[in-house]
């Protein structure tokens, strides 16, 4: 059962496990799922046969940019598959593909999804750690109100605030095994600015993760083209045994986004600048 800590109760069906048979198949929670492979739900663009292209008629008053966005959405196989499986966003396939590659989730793990709204990554985490069977635990944290996710706790909080750490630890009854962040600042169209703003969000998410992760834990976050650099990359390498970058297939080719996957948290380290 899903519970919204801000007071909104209820639940919503949907999710994405590993044991399905691809598009048209079923897996835990009634969803198709697969680990890679031709035609798997994790890679709907590889499915048998091509989707028929949908042409969008020009509508009076609709901007050209809106026209292009609508056409892209209607012809995106990930959008169609997310809708079929009851996933809240096509972004869910990004964490599915990252998990298939790096083994981010395990049954029984405690997962925190930062900037969780609308809940696509949270749905995937619930399925893959077994939260619906009370095996694992998933907390979706966001400043925005969001619909409950079956099997997850939803915490309305601001990661800038120190009290959020204590509220989260209370829900987890301890530390987290995985911290996820798909947060990104609104794009400006200026590549360098967008990169710096998203890196700043990644740094903020990392600071929060280092306060709540258990030793051996994993941190996954969005960065833009160029990946984690400079101080951020140094901080990741200092605190984790493995730091890798990846761009999942579900990430649009024209997007500058990529993801950093840091595994093997070393635990709280002494400040090298401290006396």
- Rounded to the nearest 5 degrees, what angle is found at the Cα of 260, between the Cα atoms of 204 and 189? 70
**Which letter, b or e, does each residue of 18-53 get, where b requires 16 or more Cβ atoms within 10 Å of its Cβ?**
bebebbeeebbbebbbbeeeebbbbbbeebeeeeee
Contact between 104 and 264 (Cβ < 8 Å): no
Distance of CA 82 to the CA centre of its chain: 14
222 part of the active site: yes
Distance between CA atoms of 210 and 104, rounded to whole angstroms? Answer: 17
Distance between CA atoms of 235 and 134, rounded to whole angstroms? Answer: 34
| Selection from 43, 50, 52 nearest residue 23 by Cα | 43
| Selection from 104, 84, 148, 73 nearest residue 248 by Cα | 104
Hey, how many other C-beta atoms are within 10 angstroms of the C-beta on 152? Answer: 28
Question: Which of the following is catalytic: 13, 52, 60, 222?
Answer: 222
Task: Give catalytic residues, as residue numbers.
Answer: 222
């Amino acid at each position: 059962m899903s519970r919204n800590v801000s007071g909104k109760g209820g639940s919503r069906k949907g999710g994405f496990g590993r044991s399905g048979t691809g598009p048209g198949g079923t897996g835990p929670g009634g969803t198709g799922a697969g680990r890679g492979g031709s035609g798997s739900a994790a890679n709907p663009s590889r499915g048998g046969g091509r989707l028929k292209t949908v042409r969008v008629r020009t509508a009076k008053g609709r901007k050209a940019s809106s026209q292009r966005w609508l056409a892209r959405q209607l012809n995106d196989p990930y959008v169609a598959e997310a809708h079929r499986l009851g996933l809240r966003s096509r972004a869910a396939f990004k964490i599915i593909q990252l998990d298939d590659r790096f083994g981010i989730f395990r049954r029984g793990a405690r997962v925190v999804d930062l900037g969780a709204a609308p809940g696509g990554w949270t749905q995937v985490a619930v399925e893959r750690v077994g939260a619906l069977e009370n095996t694992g635990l998933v907390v979706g944290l966001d400043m925005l109100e969001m619909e409950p996710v079956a099997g997850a706790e939803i915490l309305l909080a601001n990661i800038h605030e120190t009290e959020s750490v204590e509220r989260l630890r209370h829900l987890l009854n301890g530390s987290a095994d995985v911290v996820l962040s798909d947060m990104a600042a609104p794009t400006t169209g200026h590549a360098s600015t967008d990169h710096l703003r998203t890196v700043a969000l990644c740094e903020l998410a990392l600071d929060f993760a280092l306060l709540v992760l258990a030793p051996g834990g994993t941190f996954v976050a969005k960065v833009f083209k160029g990946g984690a650099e400079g101080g951020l990359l140094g901080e990741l390498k200092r605190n984790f045994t493995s730091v890798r970058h990846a761009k999942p297939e579900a990430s649009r080719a024209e997007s500058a986004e990529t993801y950093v996957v840091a595994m093997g948290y070393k635990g709280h380290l002494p400040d090298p600048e401290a006396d």
